[in-house]
A and B are shown apart, each in its own frame.
Chain A
Amino acid sequence: MTYTNFRFELSDEGVATVLIDRVDASMNTLGIDLIAELAEVVERLEQDDVKAVVIGSAKRDFLAGADIRMFSGAVTADTAIKGLQAIHAIFDRIEALHLDAGKPVVAAIHGVCLGGGLELALTASSRICSASPRTQLGQPEVQLGLIPAAGGTQRLPALIGLAAGLEMIVGGKPVRSYKAKKLGLVDEVTPPEVLLEVAQKRALAAIGAEAPERGIASKLSSDNLQRLALEKNPAGRRLLFKKAYDVMMKQSGGHYPAPKRAIEAIRIGAEKGRAAGVAAEIRFFAELVLTPETAALQSIFFATQELKSDKGIDSDAEPREISNVAVLGGGLMGGGIAAVSTLKAGKTVRIKEIDDAGVARGLAYVNKVVTRQAKRRRMSSFEVDQILNRVTGSSTWAGFAQTDIIIEAVFEDLDLKHSIIKEVEKVVGENTIFASNTSTLPITAIAEASGRPELVVGMHYFSPVEKMPLLEVITTDATADWVTATAVKLGKEQGKTVIVVNDGTGFYTSRLLGPYLNEAAYLLEEGASVEAIDEAVADWGFPIGPLLLTDEVGIDVGAHVATILHAAFGDRMRGPDMMAGLIKDGRKGRKNGRGFYLYTDGKRGDVDETVYDALGLGPRVRVSEEEIQERMSLVFINEATLCLQEGILRSARDGDIGAVFGLGYPPFRGGPFFTVDQMGADVVVAKLEALEARFGERFAPAQILKDHAETGKSFRK
């Protein structure tokens, strides 16, 4: 028998080996065609000559999950329910092979086994996986606004227990082989080369044998027994679900329906049995698939995928190979850039600092980041040595001649950057790229000191570099395309999602902060309290409010940026004058322990009530949450669309990604442009015009918004 998407083989002893091999694809995913054919395969497995089954993959990965495009676009609740029921029927039949027909089914997992892939594996009587670092098992559906709905919410907790099941499904984080074994998710971890052979032997040996005790019940560690005891009694279970719910609310701010539904489906299954649980997961899935949050998350996912293959330029110039990276300044940013350059990108890195202590500070930062990763990823001490030995530092210019790219992260000072660029050009080769990590200075202004402006580009990282996913690459009119493409490629190697923007004061991301932080100040001036502003904005979905953000960034830094933006964009970006009072009062934010909030021993406390005096403000009045949210979000969104209109942004997609990954714009809102599409440009324009009438030009809607309102065109399609 031959199939299109499967390889089938039956041994003399009756062990059937089914290898998933999706036709015309490099990756196995669950699409409609594959599912239809799986039904035929199962029919074959049900025949008497098959005594045992091994399910594996003929590709690099086991099965990466459902083809998510299957669920976007023209899905209705009805079609989703029908599709899922069909999958359930087939998965149940696979399970029945061992439960009813006594045929052992072993899943042999190497590589990615996610979503529907893991749900398929869960139907087997036993799972084994390879010890490869590539191997990972998980239910990441919540990250795309969905839940596992091919039995995952039921079979996974049944196998590994409620607590672990909740964590994997609600958290959405995949686990690696050793963790999978510890959880009882797999029964054995083998070297990748012998995985299939071991699976076949296991299947053969299990024919006719008593079915082994399933899941965690078979593990006698006191840890597991304790967990089991907790899960078996209703009070204990309630406690578990409450804890899962609290953790989820804390992590997501309650903005995401999927993790809530995931918990609910698991709970229903645990309390009312498998059939009720299955019905719930299907129903919830059909509901989630149509929510705006899911659409937003998926649009971010697709945009990120697209950016992976975007060279960042419109010509066909090719990026050049980078092997040596130099970082000027080993401070907070320089240290982070050095760390991701060696750790993620595997480059040789040289740090230049003003003195030995500066070099040491940079190296210490790298060391800290690498050691933390080493623990998490279980790196060997050899790997750690390798990563750390790639980084050297110097307080002199010795050893910079060979660098392919210099990334400067010295103090934010144009004169300093000018003198640095001149020094650099004396020591480096003719093709060494000079990238600046400035957050506000126009790259064109920096490039004025350069004899080779075509090699000057902006690489704007976010703090902390090793954690923040975005890199904003900034090009001037003079920047050569190969230089831009090389910066983009390096950024991707450093593990970043990269957008390319044109030069302009504040580029894209820093510029957005201008009107946004000003608006927070105006609200303060009008009498809103610090708490009211920050809470309203956090409730809207930003990770932190604007005033807390100012404390984090540094009030002095914020004021500096505000001055620059005001100078560049005029009164539209003028903030209230009272903010100068904070500087006069010596408030710099978290770094000197004095800001909008109180700090004791570096820990943040409540709002510092004396801040109003420093601002020369009187008692607080109530400003409604809606008012705050509307003004803060619309001023932000409007500025984003202006950036598109002025050609700072190459696309609305980049604008959404930049806002979400760089500034914490709520992912479930998909980015400012996605939000406009969902609200309707006409609605946005109307609201802005109403605000303009009240507050003046800072709310004047962008022309591009008015155009879209007119034509009904959307930004993101």
Chain B
Amino acid sequence: MSPSKKARRVAIIDGLRTPFAKSGSAFKNLSTLDLASGVVAELVARSGIDASTVDRVVYGAVIADVSAPNIAREIVLAGPLPDSVDAYSVSRACATSTQSFVEGAQSILLGETDIVIVGGADSLSRPPITYSDRFIDILMEASAARDLSSRVKAFSKTRPRDLAPKPPAIAERSTGKTMGHCAEEMARENGISREAQDEFTVRSHARTLDAWESGIFDSEVMAYPIPPKFTETIVRDTIPRSDTTMEKLATLKPVFDRKYGSVTAANSSPLTDGASALLLMDASVAEALGYEPKAYLRSYAFAALDPNWQLLMGPAFATPLALDKAGMTLDDIDLIDMHEAFAAQVLSNVQAFASDKFAQQRLGRKKAIGEIDDAKFNVYGGSISIGHPFGATGTRQIATMANELDRRGGGTALITQCAAGGLGAAVVLER
């Protein structure tokens, strides 16, 4: 594909996701690849795109499946896209599918591709479980053994404690702290009360339920019939609850710091299964094919901070960079959609956005990023109420915002996430 004379522009044609479900529930028998294949097949079918014109699939998952390490390619090979479609996979913790999106966008801007499918998924219902190092050594020795007796000998070294499975670590490798602990620290340091967190949680659930009621999600969430029996079809997210009230939330015990903490299972995003995807095109290709883009990419940025400080402050670091690149200020933004890992993290970032001190000390900028107007903010809820399949969240947010800009017939939207390792991502869309 040679770059066309016209300036290239990344158009979001369509976005789709599966309903999101708490891990271990509706999708418990489905792998990440199953969910991803399902959403991509449906996106291809709905968009009516000629599958052979898709140039590439960029996809990601946080918990990689050892039997399908390049999940993007597996989606192509086992789905309706022809084998000639190039595909590779990316990983950037909770910003994984934002990374897929950016890579797809970059290849369009470079003139390398015209049509790309991007997205991400995770099924935490079936995480890869590993064993202790000692037991792995035993297994390797046994499988290398040439006869039965040496195999038996290898196994005879096994001690009961070797057999205890090691679930994938959710702690930061560098600091040894889990994300929940980091959220606790942020709540404490930034003075985010339990009450504020619970209030934000109630708000999230109410907005997501409203969105479902008013049909906002209908066009971007597919109905997912559950194989192999297909007696059940999941049509809605299973996480938002109408009985989320302050009273009810107040009864929950903090989970990370049981004694002095404020972060509970309710005011954090739950472990979730789901998949999402976007269809991207160069704007002139979209026009030639008769597609009406929902929104266009204006700018994006990533940022990284010291994980020993406030691990989940990524949005406040990445946003000003993306705004600079867009030549905008926060006031120019009509919609802000921030990933909700924890209510404590969201509120800490909101605080930081508005703080000159934060801007001066941490960003080396004179003035604060800007005050977030509540009316523009997470208008349909977020990861706390919708759920957070790690790899799927970025493209979930982008799809919702693109659709919202389309509905409003114009405007700008900022999408941002924090990610493990002290990373931040921000994307600005326009219509």
Contacts and interface: CB of A to CB of B under 8 A. Distances in A.
Nearest to A401: B48
B231 interface: yes
Interface stretch (A22-30, A358-366, A651-659, A692-700): A358-366
B41 interface: yes
A504 B380 CA distance: 57
B46 A399 contact: yes
Interface stretch (B74-82, B361-369, B421-429): B74-82
A395 B223 contact: yes
Contacts of A394: 42, 45-46, 223
23 contacts: A348-B45, A348-B51, A356-B233, A356-B235, A357-B233, A359-B225, A359-B233, A363-B227, A364-B225, A364-B228, A367-B227, A367-B228, A385-B37, A385-B78, A386-B78, A388-B227, A389-B78, A389-B80, A392-B42, A392-B45, A394-B42, A394-B45, A394-B46
A359 B37 CA distance: 18
Given A382-B78, A386-B77, A367 B230 contact: yes
B231 A389 contact: no
A350 interface: yes
Contacts of B45: 348, 350, 392, 394, 399, 402
Contacts of B49: 402
B33 to A, nearest CB: 8
B106 interface: no
Contact of A389 (B37, B219, B225, B235): B37
B225 A360 contact: yes
Contacts of B259: none
A356 B230 CA distance: 10
A463 interface: no
Given A399-B42, A399-B48, A402-B49, 20 more contacts: A348-B45, A348-B80, A356-B233, A357-B233, A360-B230, A363-B227, A367-B227, A367-B230, A382-B78, A386-B78, A386-B79, A389-B37, A392-B42, A394-B45, A395-B223, A398-B46, A399-B47, A401-B48, A402-B45, A402-B50
B161 interface: no
B234 to A, nearest CB: 9
Interface in A202-243: none
A35 B51 CA distance: 52
A371 interface: yes
B229 interface: yes
Most buried by A among B42, B46, B230: B230
Contact of B230 (A363, A385, A400): A363
Contacts of B228: 364, 367, 371
Interface of B: 37-38, 41-42, 45-51, 77-80, 219, 223, 225, 227-233, 235
Q: Assign chain A's interface to a size class.
A: 20 to 34
A574 interface: no
A350 B51 CA distance: 14
Nearest to A364: B230
A352 to B, nearest CB: 11
A240 B85 CA distance: 56
A401 B45 CA distance: 9
A389 B233 CA distance: 16
A308 interface: no
A181 interface: no
Interface in A388-408: 388-390, 392-395, 398-402
Contact of B229 (A357, A364, A385, A389): A364
Contacts of B79: 386, 389-390
Contacts of A398: 46, 219
A394 B42 CA distance: 9
A382 B80 CA distance: 13
Contacts of A386: 77-79
B223 A356 contact: yes
B78 A360 contact: no
A216 to B, nearest CB: 29
Nearest to B290: A401
A360 B41 CA distance: 16
B37 A390 contact: no
Contacts of A363: 225, 227, 230
Nearest to A385: B78
Most buried by A among B42, B47, B48, B79: B48
Nearest to B229: A364
A394 B41 CA distance: 12
A390 B80 CA distance: 5
Contacts of A356: 223, 225, 233, 235
Interface of A: 348, 350, 356-357, 359-361, 363-364, 367, 371, 382, 385-386, 388-390, 392-395, 398-402
Contacts of B46: 394, 398-399
B230 A361 contact: yes
Contacts of B235: 356
Nearest to B34: A385
A401 B230 CA distance: 26
Contacts of A371: 228
Nearest to B230: A364
A382 B47 CA distance: 25
B223 A359 contact: yes
Contact of B225 (A350, A393, A399, A400): A393
A374 to B, nearest CB: 11
A508 to B, nearest CB: 35
A360 B233 contact: yes
Contacts of A385: 37, 78
Contacts of A360: 225, 230-233
Nearest to B232: A360
B37 to A, nearest CB: 5
Contacts of B42: 392, 394, 399
Most buried by B among A350, A356, A389, A402: A389
A382 B231 CA distance: 23
Contacts of A389: 37-38, 41, 78-80
Nearest to A361: B230
A567 B161 CA distance: 81
Closest 8 CB pairs of A and B: A364-B230, A360-B225, A399-B46, A399-B45, A401-B48, A402-B48, A360-B230, A385-B78
B35 to A, nearest CB: 12
Contacts of B225: 356, 359-360, 363-364, 393
B80 to A, nearest CB: 5
Contacts of B50: 402
Nearest to A371: B228
Nearest to B225: A360
Nearest to B51: A348
A363 B231 CA distance: 10
Nearest to B235: A356
Contacts of B219: 398
Nearest to B227: A367
Contacts of A400: 48
A363 B225 CA distance: 8
A361 B77 CA distance: 26
Contacts of A401: 48
Nearest to A347: B80
Contacts of B80: 348, 389-390, 392
Nearest to A389: B79
Contacts of B230: 360-361, 363-364, 367
Nearest to B52: A323
A128 B38 CA distance: 42
A1 B72 CA distance: 57
Nearest to B14: A398
A342 to B, nearest CB: 10
A392 B43 CA distance: 10
Most buried by A among B37, B41, B231, B232: B41
Contacts of A402: 45, 48-50
A86 to B, nearest CB: 51
Given A356-B233, A356-B235, A360-B233, A392 B41 contact: yes
A390 B79 CA distance: 6
A329 to B, nearest CB: 16
A448 to B, nearest CB: 28
